[in-house]
Structure 1
């Protein structure tokens, strides 16, 4: 019985797309490149299409065929091949973590920068446990209480990436002030604790928090939130767009408009010091 094709995860898609781009830059057809590797053409096509794995050693050999000598490029793609098939900690939660969500967690794990524009909720990497549980329970239409609790655990476990020694990503989170006025009927203290969490985490050297004021001028972020994950060269950025039906990824050159939009959103938001002062003011208001 033939082996089933691999599921094209985000990591495999990024690797396949990079190898395809380098092959095209080398001016080689699929058949020519496969022939240089003593492969049949379909094998390379499947690797580029992310439905077949490739050994780390073969990545290095293929890059040599393409004339790629840059050490940074070689190391990045070899590392991606090495990590593509590994099981992450989130596999423990496979009963509640969809393949699309698992893809994003792997992206977050690999990223060296994360730019989040969040107009409606606090970004997951900055949430308290109580806020995570309440917001997950509020938006879901089909999850059991046990599944909500498990998803909240996943959200909190993701936050470990921010304190990872030596390789923690830079997080720049811009949150609309309206999100900070959310009320929780059962536990009114949830938002106060969440505001305190924002102030505390903003003290980390790799975390920057800005607020979009209620009285802001028009900016590209009015059409919706997004998260832009960046990676060491030569890997392109990936954008995550979320909605009720799941998530969509925007990759490669298509992510460029989002990077430009984030810069305009950042310029429109309150300066960092003013943002933290406003968060502290709101947090103090909850104490009265």
Structure 2
């Protein structure tokens, strides 16, 4: 089955190209479709699903030929099919999971916790409960199950390359108690034995660095028709960054942080060393 998130982004990219080729502004397109400019904007960012009828009408407005119109309408229907993650209760993160599933390479930088894609169920549960202390048990269980299911991309055929950069503070921050932390750090080391996963640790000795401001994830889509995308999460919202200037900053940050981090073997040794402090 086609990934609905990927199809929606492919459709959004092509509709935006057709509009620009037709010499129309977002406002022009909205006026002709008899909708708000905001609707056209949401369609073109891939954040909003679009019904095949609207695709047909936009193709007519933009002067697309019959073959392309039918192709894009088919893409719109595929984009409306649910992926396994569509039942997840957070719409912002549903989008992330869809993108993660199709990425060819993912760079994650975190200063607070082991990223969800590498977490054990116990560590994930402790993190979620700490962030959402009022969460109901069934919702907590579903969120943990979703995190575990996401790890399927790490062991599938042709998995995405993962570069995970962690501030050393992540390893020292006790989450869920000593036993949970020990199991979690041991799991991280196990993940690094896979050839497509690299975990790098920025030691305390580095001092201040470019990553103090924010954690981020950079997803490389590996499709020439789709732009890469960066994901940044705060306490109130999630942001998806697609502007070339924003992506350039994230790439530069990833480059600089990787240069500051310990090498793969030294990072694994540091993780193992700190794991030993959780004997209790």
Question: Same fold by TM-score, threshold 0.5 exceeded?
Answer: yes
Specify the alignment match of 1:204 in structure 2.
194
Specify the alignment match of 1:179 in structure 2.
170
1:287 deviation in Å? 3.7
Unaligned stretches of 5+ residues in structure 2: 66-70
Cα distance in 1 between the residues matched to 2:271 and 2:78: 39
Q: TM-score, normalised by structure 1?
A: 0.76
Specify the alignment match of 2:68 in structure 1.
none
User: Would the aligned equivalents of 2:232 and 2:238 in 1 still touch at CA under 8 Å?
Assistant: yes
Cα distance in 2 between the residues matched to 1:277 and 1:80: 48
1:233 deviation in Å? 1.6
Alignment of 1:234-273 (within 5 A): 234-253=225-244, 254-273=246-265
Q: Secondary structure at the match of 1:180?
A: helix
1:23 deviation in Å? 4.9
Change (3 A) 1:163 1:219: same
* Stretch of structure 1 that moved more, 112-121 or 242-251: 242-251
Tell me how many residue pairs correspond in the alignment: 256
1:101 deviation in Å? 1.3
Q: TM-score, normalised by structure 2?
A: 0.78
Unaligned stretches of 5+ residues in structure 1: 1-8, 35-39, 68-74
1:29 deviation in Å? 3.3
**Pairing 1:131–2:123 present:** yes
Specify the alignment match of 2:12 in structure 1.
16
Change (3 A) 1:144 1:48: closer
Cα distance in 2 between the residues matched to 1:82 and 1:260: 38
Q: Secondary structure at the match of 1:215?
A: helix
Cα distance in 2 between the residues matched to 1:216 and 1:78: 53
* Stretch of structure 1 that moved more, 238-247 or 207-216: 238-247
**Pairing 1:117–2:109 present:** yes
Specify the alignment match of 1:70 in structure 2.
none
**Pairing 1:42–2:33 present:** yes
Alignment of 1:4-153 (within 5 A): 12=8, 15-21=11-17, 23-24=19-20, 26=21, 28-29=23-24, 41-42=32-33, 49-50=42-43, 51=48, 52-54=50-52, 83-92=78-87, 94=88, 97-153=89-145
Give me the CA root mean square deviation: 3.4
Change (3 A) 1:66 1:230: farther
